[in-house]
Amino acid sequence: MKVGDIVWSPTHGNVSFDEMYFLIKKFICEFPECEYEITVGTDSQNHSLTKTVLCLAVWRKGKGGIYFAETKYLRKITNIRQKLIHETSMSLELALKLTERFKIDSLDYNITAIHVDAGKNGPTGRFVSEIIGWVKACGFDCKIKPYSYCASSIADRVSK
């Protein structure tokens, strides 16, 4: 998600990156005493093209949440490792961008974790260590299946 991009939210419809940022701040400021998790995750599905969905979720613990998703289509990616790298790089790019924006605005918000649609079981298992190491080297916690709900549940649902 870049400045000028349009993202979709089931709560707010189509919004720009700047509007999304404002809505996140507004959501958190409504109940500043609550605990929040801000997560970023990406999933993709192969059709005639690869449909990739980048998702940002803000969970107000115990009181619901909001999410935003951006969908992109690109040439079909059939290599699992390449697909995971592409998904993770999209998530990291957004997380780094938001972290920088929070700092510029002197907000004490943090990306809680990058959620990766990979797990120790199945065909993605052999790439888990590599992906976790990469995400941690970028300064973020990394969650994999079954704990990566932003990628493996929300983005997955939108990508189908």
Q: Facing residues of 46 across strands?
A: 50
Q: Which residue has 């990469």 as its token pair?
A: 134
Q: Could you give phi then psi for residue 68, rounded to 5 degrees?
A: -130, 145
Residue 128 within a domain:
yes
Percent of the chain topping pLDDT 90: 92
Residue 56 within a domain:
yes
Residue 1 within a domain:
no
pLDDT, residue 2, reads: 56
Q: What is the pTM of this model?
A: 0.94
Q: Measured between alpha carbons, how far is 97 from 122 in angstroms, rounded to an integer?
A: 31
pLDDT, residue 160, reads: 80
Residue 60 within a domain:
yes
Name the domain count of the chain: 1
Q: Facing residues of 70 across strands?
A: 54
52 touches 31 (CB < 8 A):
no
Q: State mean pLDDT over 5-26.
A: 94
- How confident is residue 4, by pLDDT bands cut at 50, 70 and 90? low
Q: State mean pLDDT over 7-19.
A: 94
Q: Where are the beta strands (DSSP E) in the chain?
A: 6-9, 13-16, 36-46, 50-60, 65-74, 113-116, 142-143
Residue numbers of the domain that contains 50: 6-159
Condensed to tens digits (0 to 9), the pLDDT of residues 100-137 reads 999 999 999 999 999 999 999 999 999 999 999 999 99
Q: Which residue has 């993605």 as its token pair?
A: 124
pLDDT above 90 (res 138):
yes
Condensed to tens digits (0 to 9), the pLDDT of residues 39-95 reads 999 999 999 999 999 999 999 999 999 999 999 999 999 999 999 999 999 999 999
